[in-house]
Structure 1
Amino acid sequence: MNARPLTVLFMPESAYGPTNQCIGVGDVLRRRGHRVVFAAEASWRGKLTALGFEEDLVDLAPPAEEQAGQQAEQDAGQFWKDFIRETAPEFRKPTVDQLATFMQPTWQALIDGARYCEPQLRAILERTRPDVIVEDNVIAFPALLGTGAPFVRIVSCNPLEVSGPGVAPAYSGLPADDRSAWGSFRAEYDRTHRATWEEFNAWVVGQGVPPLPDLEFIHESRHANLYVFPQEADYTDARPLGPTWHRIDSSVRETDAVYELPAEVADRPEGSALIYLSLGSLGSADVDLMKHLVEVLGRTPHRYIVSKGPQHAEYELAANMVGAEFLPQTTLIPQVDAVITHGGNNTTTECLHFGKPMVVLPLFWDQHDNAQRMHETGFGYRLSTYAFTDEDMAAALAHVLDPAVRERAVEVGDAVRGREGLRRAADVIEQVGRTHADVIHAPDASDVEASHA
């Protein structure tokens, strides 16, 4: 077997969740001696080289020009203010009503980014000549499929993204045991997304790669597909997966700094729990929502560590709280009793990895699916993000702090950690690269084509 170091190219979605997921797996591969290159979005410049990776970044839209004598980087805070002001009303709608006004425009923006960066990706692939390509995204980038290098797909969203008739439709947040609204949600998704999908699929085929599955925006890999979700909460009993699919129960990066508990929350009254609050970069940018949470939680007897996010200067914490703009989540979660989260897949799976029950306040995308799954499996408690009361929050906290719930979470955490998700993911990627490396570097392109036939 060829034991030379591999070149692994990661193409994550620009969001923190998928990029952090790839950082975790990439760090394992890097420490095994492989060359790890990130074709991430340009706003990650410098953050990945600081962790020991190579960067060969892409723009997903034309670079912003200077306005009023200021660089675009100086306007980052304003971007989030504008985004939340314009978008937050959508998050208050039922998921089926978000399909036309939030989901479809979001897919279109992702499509526009994929089309814009296609020439950049082709140039990156020519420079790096990867042995294996890893994409953690929800949308296809045809360049990644056209090199002859094997392609590994990572699903770091809730695994309902891999659809099937026996499971609720993705992005719906609908319950597993009540199918009454599944059909109408799927019909509305088809109505609002069919034309967008058809146009994108035609472009994908025009780039010389196979067509997309019906109403899917990304291909399934024929080499290996990874998804991040613990066995104890999985859907495979209702939607079995084929042999190319590999469950990675958790994928918790090991690159975060150590978090030391401040004395204000470490020394707390007996009977007071320590709870971590994080709504992600977008949720925490909704200042009104964060103010409401601070007000309600400030009236409870517990102590809180708050990830304040990009609008950290716009609101004050209550006396029973400490916080900062950014916090090293993977070293913080093990030290708390429970977590209040937006239900992003990274945070959800990290909570299960560390055995922490959670209160889930979903906003958009797969967060509704994670909130519902945690609620119906007993690992969490779903709340109405914009309508919860003091009494609702008290009931949610009582559930997640119940000794029986916490004990079960601890047992699941022990099992999940024992499955070594990060290393399992690295093993699969390494195996794919090793299996196909000699073929990829063969001098005759016809040999490559024949090997994949």
Structure 2
Amino acid sequence: MGGPLRPLTVLFAPESAYGPTNNCVGIGGVLRRRGHRVVFAAEASWKGRLTPLGFEEDLVDLAPPPEQPQDAGRFWKDFVRDTAPEFRKPTIEQLSTWIKPVWEELISGARYCEPRMKEIIDRVRPDVIVEDNVVCFPALTTAGVPFVRIVSCNPLEMKGERVPPPFSGYPAGNRSGWDEFRAEYDRTHRDLWSDFGTWVTEQGARPLPDLEFIHEGDLNLYVYPESADYTDARPLGPTWHRLDSSVRETRERFTLPAGLTGGGALIYFSLGSLGSADVDLMRRVIASLARTPHRYIVSKGPLHEEIELPPNMWGEEFLPQTRILPLVDLVITHGGNNTTTEALHFGKPMILLPLFWDQHDNAQRMAERGYGVRLDPYRFTDARLHGAIDRLLGDTALRRALTEAGETIRARDGLHTAADLIERAATG
């Protein structure tokens, strides 16, 4: 496809969580190396994290600034820690006690930063705007330049009558419960959606689609491998393009710690930057894994100082995940979209312990596609977790199929495909 004739100014607006931000960092890195100016309108706690990567930072506060500077993404880490008891509930009950409060926080942030977003757009004068979030920021859609939406959550976010409702974790092959879940989502969210939609149009943006908190873009990208996608049951329009993966390129190196050499399989365990804030759950999983003969690399997360590791494990607060995944035999994950798609990118089977949002949908999809095992993170037993590890490690046919799937995914090069499509959208 080749690049455009002139350098572009690309404005990225990612959600503050690590998954969407890292996705934008990966795509933005390709665009920057092609000679484009890349600006991040990220949340203020990312200050100083993006300029070393070659990007401009023009950051926004989503609420009145705290008295003390915060770590990147700190708000959502604290939110998860404080609301972790909700994750023990069935997904239909989480709609009112967890999903709705998350939407309320996201909407509050969008309202708060709208004037600042307009200032940034006036100052930066982008040729194209790319948003990786789940909520509308009207300024991004009213700037008079192409608007690109990235979906880096499970693609059930693009709803359809023949696919399960998002956030449910319900199976694709059994429709019982779908209507009840959708009705409860409508009951718990319609007033919130209506109020937000009124505000969005007051800012000059077009009306939101029914019960949606964000518009489609002029170009829409979503991150999910074809082999796990839902498009056979819910085809998408011509503005939608799938990226089979979006794995950022990094200069970080990783050498296996000396203490982890030896017998047993090598397994990666991560509940993500948010899920690992549930320290009690981290300790419970680690205690169970300590009773196996395997070796573990553990992403300890923001409360790493509160997590002790036994001799068969090594870990740190932050790890170069995309350098580690090629080395391991199995991934134990919360089912976040980044980790799920990256594990498939490298052809690794998964045990999924979903906590919230689309993690239930990813866990269910991996289980029904045969790529992994879904377990309840709060109710699994040693026997079930250890049995799943043994079964996945011993399934040579699955490992062969995943190796082939990973080769296909990597060959499709989602990172550069996304950069090509954004260039094309910007130059019309």
Confirm or deny a common fold (TM above 0.5).
yes
Q: Which residue of 1 aligns with 2:285?
A: 293
Equivalent residue, structure 2, for 1:254:
249
2:46–2:72 Cα contact (<8 Å) kept: no
Aligned partners of 2:268 and 2:325 also within 8 Å: yes
What's the counterpart of residue 307 of structure 1? 299
Equivalent residue for 2:160? 164
Q: Quick one: structure 1 residues 76 and 404, their matched pair in 2 at CA, closer, same or farther if it must change by over 3 Å?
A: closer
CA contact (8 A) 2:300 2:317 kept: yes
d(CA) in 2 for partners of 1:37, 1:400? 42
Query: Does structure 1 residue 397 correspond to structure 2 residue 399?
Result: no
What SS does the corresponding residue of 1:175 show, helix, strand or coil? coil
- Please list every run of at least 4 consecutive aligned residues from structure 1 whose deviation after the TM superposition is greater than 3 angstroms: 72-77, 79-85
TM superposition shift of 1:75: 12
Task: Show the counterpart of 1:386.
Answer: 378
Q: Deviations over 1:20-66 (max 9, x none)?
A: 0000000000000000000000111111001000110000001113x
Offset of residue 255 of structure 1: 2.2
The one of 425, 436, 439 equivalent to 2:418 is 425
Is 1:279 aligned to residue 271 of structure 2? yes
Shift of 1:363: 0.4
Distance 1:84 1:206, change over 3 A: closer
1:369 to 351, 361, 377: 361
How big is each residue's C-alpha offset from its partner over 1:244-296, in whole Å with a ceiling of 9 and x where there is no partner? 0000000000025111111222x222xx1100000011211111111111110
**Alpha-carbon distance in 1 for matches of 2:19, 2:213:** 19
Taking a change above 3 Å as real, the CA distance of residues 130 and 16 of structure 1, as seen in their structure-2 partners, is same
* Counterpart-to-counterpart distance in 2, 1:34 and 1:173: 40
1:235 matched to 2:230? The reply is yes
Query: Size of the alignment, in residue pairs?
Result: 425
1:340 counterpart = 2:332: yes
Q: What SS does structure 2 have at the residue aligned with 1:247?
A: strand
8 Å Cα contact 2:45/2:71 also seen in 1 = no
1:127 is matched with which residue: 119, 123, 130? Answer: 123
SS at the partner of 2:70? helix
2:262 alignment partner, one of 268, 274, 277: 268
Question: Relative to structure 1, is the Cα distance of residues 148 and 85 closer, same or farther in structure 2, using a 3 angstrom cutoff?
Answer: closer
Question: Helix, strand or coil: the match of 1:243?
Answer: coil
| 1:434, distance to aligned residue in structure 2 (A) | 1.4
Matched, 1:414 2:407: yes
User: CA offsets per residue over residues 97-150 of structure 1, 9 Å max, x none?
Assistant: 000011111101100000000000000000111000000000000001111100
3-state SS in 1 of match to 2:315: strand
Residue segments in structure 1 that go unaligned for 5+ positions in a row = 66-70, 436-453
Find the residue that maps to 1:86 and give its secondary structure: helix
- Secondary structure, aligned partner of 1:73: coil
Separation (CA, whole Å) in 1 of partners of 2:92 and 2:73? 31
Aligned with residue 427 of structure 2, among 416, 424, 434: 434
Q: 1:76 to 1:253 in 2, by over 3 A?
A: closer
Cα contact 2:78–2:277 (8 A) shared by 1: no
SS of the residue aligned with 1:192? helix
Matched, 1:244 2:239: yes
> Distance between the aligned counterparts of 1:343 and 1:229, measured in 2?
13
Shift in Å, 1:2:
6.2
> 1: distance between equivalents of 2:110 and 2:63?
9
Q: Which amino acid aligns with 1:290?
A: M
Cross-structure match for 2:60: 58
- Conserved 8 A contact 2:16-2:73: no
Matched residues in 2 for 1:237 and 1:276: separation? 32
Provide the rounded CA distance (Å) in 2 between the counterparts of 1:86 and 1:232.
Answer: 36
Q: Please tell me the residue identity of whatever aligns with 2:247.
A: V
Q: Are 1:355 and 2:357 counterparts?
A: no
Contact conserved, 1:172 with 1:369, CA < 8 A, in 2?
Answer: yes
Q: 1:405 to 1:61 in 2, by over 3 A?
A: same
Instruction: Name the SS of the counterpart of 1:225 in structure 2.
Output: strand
Tell me if the contact between 1:193 and 1:215 (Cα under 8 Å) persists in the aligned partners. yes
Instruction: Give the TM-score normalised by the residue count of structure 2.
Output: 0.97
Asked if the contact 2:254–2:320 (Cα under 8 Å) also holds between the matched residues in 1, the reply is yes
| 2:192 equivalent to 1:196 | yes
How far 1:395 sits from its partner (Å)?
2.1
Summarize deviations over 1:306-347 as a string: whole Å, max 9, x none.
Answer: 001111111211111011111000111111111000000000
2:70 alignment counterpart: 73
C-alpha distance in 2, partners of 1:233/1:390?
29
Q: Which of residues 177, 181, 195 is equivalent to 1:181?
A: 177
Q: How far apart, CA to CA, are the structure 2 residues paired with 1:184 and 1:399?
A: 35
Distance 1:80 1:217 in 2: 19
> Equivalent pairs: percent with the same residue?
66
CA contact (8 A) 1:152 1:226 kept: yes
Question: What's the secondary structure of 1:387's corresponding residue?
Answer: coil
Q: Which has the larger radius of gyration?
A: 1
